[in-house]
Amino acid sequence: MTTPVVSIAYHSGYGHTAVLAEAVRDGAADAGAVVHLIKVDGITAAEWELLDASDAIVFGSPTYMGTASGAFHQFAEDSSKRWFADAWLDKLAAGFTNSGSKSGDKLHTLQYFQILAGQHGMHWINLGLKPGWSTSEASENDINRLGFFSGAAGQTHADLGPEGVHKADIATAEHLGRRVALTARTFAAGRAAA
């Protein structure tokens, strides 16, 4: 059985997105992947090489002013060296974000990640969950409580620290990590069989 390698390339301004990054890591590790957490605002040459050697890269950033953070945008721009070399071609990709409001234009951040992945020729993995908290009997503690499909999204009140990240959002991020790891294993097995 092939052990997939999943790297989580993320920026966290105040620690909330780091909590989700750690949850993605935990979910991927629980599914049997080797996982690397990479903070993009201090990325090293060795960490770029880890990304190049990964089967899947999960992008993460807070949503600031309707898009990913400036630090993540810088990382994306710097990834153009990989684009020229097709270093990430046919890798798997996914994404997650967090903001202070229920919507906060998080969808735009996830779409930004999808476009970045598309430019690199990567294959996007969606969340694969129905929306939670969408009926009168449902609860804000449901997994995917914010009802996103393209990736994991969290909402943390702006006056709370990282300890305030909602447990349902953590569970949703863990689900994403598991889904990425399992999909990476399937892709690796398919390549080996081909």
Mean pLDDT of 71-90: 98
Task: Provide the residue count of the chain.
Answer: 194
pLDDT digits over 123-177, tens only?
Answer: 999 999 999 999 999 999 999 999 999 999 999 999 999 999 999 999 999 999 9
Mean pLDDT of 66-71: 97
Q: Which residues contact 59 (CB under 8 A, 6 or more apart)?
A: 9, 10, 68, 72, 93, 94, 95, 96, 113, 116, 117
Confidence category of residue 50, pLDDT binned at 50, 70, 90: very high
Write out the DSSP string of 33-47: -EEEEEEGGG--HHH
Cross-strand pairs, 140? none
User: Given this model, what pLDDT does residue 191 score?
Assistant: 85
User: Given this model, what pLDDT does residue 104 score?
Assistant: 87
Q: Which residues contact 138 (CB under 8 A, 6 or more apart)?
A: 132
Residue 49 has pLDDT above 80, yes or no: yes
User: Given this model, what pLDDT does residue 153 score?
Assistant: 98
Find where tokens 């990304």 sit: 51
pTM over 0.95: yes
Residue 29 has pLDDT above 70, yes or no: yes
Q: Which residues contact 183 (CB under 8 A, 6 or more apart)?
A: 56, 92, 125
Share of the chain above pLDDT 90, in %: 94
Q: And the tokens for 154?
A: 């969290």
Task: Count Cβ atoms within 10 A of the Cβ of residue 190 and give its class: 0-12 exposed, 13-18 middle, 19 or more buried.
Answer: exposed
Evaluate whether 54 touches 48 at the Cβ level (below 8 Å): no
Q: How far is CA 172 from the centre of its chain?
A: 11
Average pLDDT, the chain: 97
Mean pLDDT of 71-98: 98
Distance CA 51, CA 53 (A): 5
Evaluate whether 52 touches 87 at the Cβ level (below 8 Å): yes
Sign of CA dihedral 29, 31, 33, 35: negative
Q: Which residues contact 49 (CB under 8 A, 6 or more apart)?
A: none
Residue 2 has pLDDT above 90, yes or no: no
Residue 108 has pLDDT above 70, yes or no: yes
User: Given this model, what pLDDT does residue 1 score?
Assistant: 64
Share of the chain above pLDDT 70, in %: 99
| Three-state secondary-structure class, residue 95 | strand
